């Protein structure tokens, strides 16, 4: 059974930085899809950044490009999201998600939330003016 545990959320002022971490247990290999999604109450959950953890290149939503950096460890079971130049509109609950051993790297770019098999409990990010 795959489990995801997020950490690193908090409150910062606009322009500040936070680093989120997601540790996965239960993966059978190091080639997985992992990613970060976020959700504001009353709005749809949206993709922030995703990656194929075996030599994959991160894929970012437009809102994250140039400000957020996604990375993972070599074992493919820990994901990081470095968030710089944070804005109040980045405030949301951030969720880690995973697709274990996908058919191929392209699966990791799937915006369909139903494609992502496992989700963490979320970590809150609040950015104030």
- Residue pLDDT, tens place only, 31-71: 999 999 999 999 999 999 999 999 999 999 999 999 999 99
Give the per-residue pLDDT at 28.
86
- In angstroms and rounded to an integer, the radius of gyration of the C-alpha atoms of the chain is 14
DSSP state of 62: T
With beta carbons less than 8 A apart as the criterion, state whether 109 and 75 touch: no
111 pLDDT band, cuts 50/70/90, is confident
With beta carbons less than 8 A apart as the criterion, state whether 107 and 99 touch: yes
Give the per-residue pLDDT at 87.
98
pLDDT in tens, 66-98: 999 999 998 989 999 999 999 999 999 999 999
With beta carbons less than 8 A apart as the criterion, state whether 54 and 77 touch: no
Give the per-residue pLDDT at 121.
97
In order of 39, 49, 81, the CA distances from 86 in angstroms are 16, 15, 12
110 pLDDT band, cuts 50/70/90, is confident
Give the per-residue pLDDT at 26.
94
With beta carbons less than 8 A apart as the criterion, state whether 4 and 24 touch: yes
With beta carbons less than 8 A apart as the criterion, state whether 25 and 96 touch: no
Q: What is the mean pLDDT of residues 6-16?
A: 97
Run of H or E residues at 6: strand 3-7
């Amino acid at each position: 059974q795959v489990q995801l545990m997020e950490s690193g959320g908090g409150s910062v002022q606009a322009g500040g930085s936070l680093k989120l971490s997601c540790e996965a247990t239960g993966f059978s290999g190091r080639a997985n899809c992992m990613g970060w999604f976020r959700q504001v109450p009353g709005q749809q959950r949206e993709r922030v950044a995703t990656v194929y953890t075996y030599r994959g290149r991160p894929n970012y939503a437009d809102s994250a490009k140039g400000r957020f950096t996604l990375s993972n460890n070599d074992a493919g079971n820990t994901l990081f999201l470095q968030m710089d130049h944070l804005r109040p509109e980045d405030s949301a609950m951030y969720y880690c998600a995973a697709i274990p051993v996908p058919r191929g790297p392209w699966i990791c770019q799937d915006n369909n939330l139903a494609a992502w098999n496992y989700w963490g409990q979320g970590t809150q990010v609040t950015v104030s003016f």
